[in-house]
Every structure is written in C-alpha cells, then in structure tokens.
C-alpha cells in the first residue's frame, strides 16, 4: 500500500532532510527531496505527489508562503515542520491550508504516525471497497473525491469534503466540535480552534444550498447530519 504514495519533503536542514527521507524510504514510501520552497513548488508542478512535508523556515520562500501557493493550485495534504511551538504559528498554518503540524525536535516514528493518519483521512483507506455514498440527491464519489447534488458538481475545499464525508458515514449521529476536530482535522492543537468547525459548517451549508439543512445544529452539543424526512 505504502509504495503507491509519493511524499515531497522540503527542508533546508540537510541532516533533518536526510533523516526524514531515509526513514520514509525504509518504510516503503516514494520520496522526493527539496531544499527550499521554490524547489518544492517546481517539483510539485512536475511530479505526482500524494503528501507534502514543509519546513517553516526555508530560504527563498518560507514554508508558510510555499503552503499558501500550493493550496492555491492543489488540495494535496500538507504537514508543516517547525522549531516553534507558538500557537499563533499553528493557527496561521491552518488558515493558509496546512493540515497538520509537528514541532522539532520530533521522532521519526511520530512523523510516520501523523503521515499514516493523514493518508487514512485523505484517501479513505479504511473504506476502499466502497466507491459511492448516496443520500437522497447527494452523491459522494469516494475515489474521485467529488460531491454532486442533483447531478451538479459541488465545489468543496479538501477539508469541507472531509467533513461532509465523515458526516455521511456517521449519519444521524451527534458529534461535538471537539469530536469533529479530532476525527476530521486530527490535530493536536485543538484547544482554542473550535470556531474552525463552525466556520466550515457554515460554508458547507452554504455550498449545499437548500440541502444545507441536512447539517443540523444540536444545541448545547454540536452537529449531526442526515436526510430530512
């Protein structure tokens, strides 16, 4: 399974770049190396990449700027590496499109766990036998990561799609904001970011139009999802 995934690793610290790449290769992943943000962008345009690991502090183009540029052209999952544990940096990374954060120094095993979790969430490895979810007029194509309503494609961001897919698989169950952060975002810096859930719920409802009512607010608890009867 791992051999099918290609990971782009960008870090200007040669020791860390060598360590991460050699460990991932040992674990069976295909790896592409970059020593700065500009090189990472150039490689991403030429190569098929399933996940990007970005150091924050890089020459020519830092990790934040690189992340923002990647997100403007691709929904590929992004994990940021940083020597800082400042919450403001993590929140900034989320806002520009990062999917996860890991603070240096870190163990290769911890990074591997984050990567595997990201692949499970992004590429739906646990439900590979299922290709379609149908709920009334709503269709979710798991393989193509596409959502359609009454035959029309709904343009969702990667995280909006992840949220909708999680809801659809757990229809009519109630989840708190904390649970949604844990299952959909999977980040360790969940405290203080509950509004992230509310924001994504709001935009998801808007994009679903009249079907946005499928996302229900359960006052005092959180949200649930299901077809109106």
Question: What kind of fold does domain 129-225 have according to CATH?
Answer: Arc Repressor Mutant, subunit A (1.10.10)
Average pLDDT on 126-151 reads 77
Q: Which fold has domain 2-123?
A: Rossmann fold (3.40.50)
Count CA atoms within 13 Å of residue 180 on its CB side: 28
Domain boundaries, the chain: 2-123, 129-225
Closest by CA to 108, choosing from 209, 36, 7, is 7
pLDDT reported for residue 70: 92
Q: pTM of the full predicted structure? A: 0.58
Contacts of 4 (CB under 8 A, 6+ apart): 50
What is the model's pLDDT at position 35? 94
Q: Report whether 223 contacts 180 (CB < 8 A).
A: yes
Query: Could you give the residue ranges of the DSSP H alpha helices within the chain?
Result: 14-26, 37-46, 63-73, 87-96, 108-123, 158-169, 177-180, 194-208
Whole-number pLDDT of residue 141:
85
Confidence label for 151 from pLDDT (cuts 50, 70 and 90) = confident
The per-type count for the chain, helices as H runs and strands as E runs, is 8, 11
Top pLDDT among 209 and 227 is at 209
Number of neighbouring beta carbons within 10 Å of residue 189 = 18
Q: How far apart are CA 176 and CA 223, in angstroms?
A: 6
Least trusted range by pLDDT, from 137-141, 142-146, 212-216: 142-146
Rounded Cα distance between 15 and 137, Å, is: 52
Query: What is the average pLDDT score of the chain?
Result: 83
Q: How buried is residue 110: exposed, middle or buried, by Cβ count under 10 Å (0-12/13-18/19+)?
A: exposed
Domains 2-123 and 129-225 share a fold: no
Residue 128 in this model has a pLDDT that exceeds 50: no
């Amino acid at each position: 399974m791992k051999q099918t995934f290609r990971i782009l690793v960008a870090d200007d610290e040669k020791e860390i770049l060598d360590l991460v790449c050699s460990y991932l290769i040992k674990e069976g992943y295909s790896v592409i190396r970059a020593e700065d943000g500009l090189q990472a962008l150039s490689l991403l345009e030429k190569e098929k990449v399933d996940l990007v690991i970005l150091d924050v502090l890089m020459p020519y183009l830092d990790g934040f700027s690189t992340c923002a540029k990647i997100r403007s052209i691709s929904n590929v999952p992004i994990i940021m590496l940083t020597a800082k544990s400042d919450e403001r940096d993590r929140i900034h990374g989320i806002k520009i499109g990062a999917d996860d954060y890991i603070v240096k120094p870190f163990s290769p095993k911890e990074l591997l766990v984050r990567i595997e979790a990201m692949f499970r969430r992004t590429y739906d490895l646990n439900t590979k036998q299922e290709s379609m979810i149908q709920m009334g007029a709503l269709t979710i194509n798991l393989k193509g990561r596409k959502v359609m309503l009454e035959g029309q494609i709904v343009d969702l961001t990667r995280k909006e799609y992840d949220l909708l897919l999680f809801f659809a698989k757990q229809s009519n169950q109630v989840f708190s904001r904390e649970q949604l952060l844990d299952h959909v975002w999977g980040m360790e810096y969940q405290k203080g970011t509950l509004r992230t859930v509310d924001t994504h719920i709001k935009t998801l409802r808007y994009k679903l139009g009249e079907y946005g009512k499928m996302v229900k607010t359960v006052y005092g608890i959180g949200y649930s999802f299901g077809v109106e009867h």
